[in-house]
Structure 1
Amino acid sequence: MTTKVPIKLAVIDPSDTGERRRLGYDEAASSVTEYLVRGAWDDSGVLRPIHTQSLMITFERPVAGDDTDALKKVAAETGGALVVVPSDLGSHEAAMSKNGGYARTALETLFATGIRQVIVACSEMHRTGPPYSEARFEEIKKELDRLLAKIGYGDAETQVIPVDLRGDNIHDRSSNTPWYRDATLDEALSNLKP
């Protein structure tokens, strides 16, 4: 049996801050993080580890992307980050705003604190117009690629994945996004370097 290498991952998911639940985003799972681990929160509120073929991934408790103090603390203790960014019109623009959007702030803070492995999950793909829009994903991906390059990230350090709380591209490839051929969220996590 192969020994699994441990890695700790920071999670920046606005749905875990309670705000998106308040706004009515409570679906099959209340966040990408919860769906990813299929309810793996233990009684003390800690995520149980996910085991990939070669890694044992433990998670820091999700933080709001605009809480730079909490981000700095979490980043100092982790080897990578999962940043969840909404894809729906309006929510995405707010998250990426130059005036304090949580996703932009999180990505800048993570880089400044030394986090070089980042997975960006573009969530709420069913809320794009039309649902699961390839054009919308490509628009978001180009914006993220430009921002990530401007911050200092290289292509090999980041992945942008279209996901949905219904399971699209989280564990398995989705028939809703036949145009997307890159890694699922599970595969991206498996490819993290300890």
Structure 2
Amino acid sequence: MTALAGISGIEDPRLIAANAPNFFADAWRERHWLLSPGNATVDPPNGFALGINSEFERSQDRLHIHMACLRPDVQRVLASRIVSLDLDRFAPLGFRLGGRWVWATRVDGADAMDFDPLRTLRDRMPEVKAQIGRQTLIVVRETLPTGEPTIVLLTNPASGQGRGSFAVERFIRSGCD
């Protein structure tokens, strides 16, 4: 089993090893730390997000996953475009944040993170494999117009020219009221 203490961040190749734990699924199961106790066992609200910053955007030298809800303005844009998201690859979402384009893909039928978002990123955006450390990855729970739950993955390569241009913190707010 891979030890979390030895993993610096998203760029560590051990995160997609065959026996690697799915840290996103582990974080998903611990959502009760953010949600009110009465909501901890039910599906989280739309806009509930988990995220990992690129190696250029993170403030800590160890893998850590942010847990919060999207800012309302980001969630509105995402909800307005959710039906058109590609199920096979990442594609531009059609808006900028921090001056940079946001890319997205959708994973339908995903039940409480029963897939690995890091492997999905590498499979659906193969051009980032060699530079995975430049990616910020945000995993968001949403609902389709049909009422079915879906998971949306948001990303954009980091510029490597200073912090804050595409950090998870720019997408989220504290709490999930």
The TM tier, using the shorter chain, reads: under 0.3
Richer in strand (by share): 2
Richer in helix (by share): 1
* TM-score, length basis structure 2: 0.27
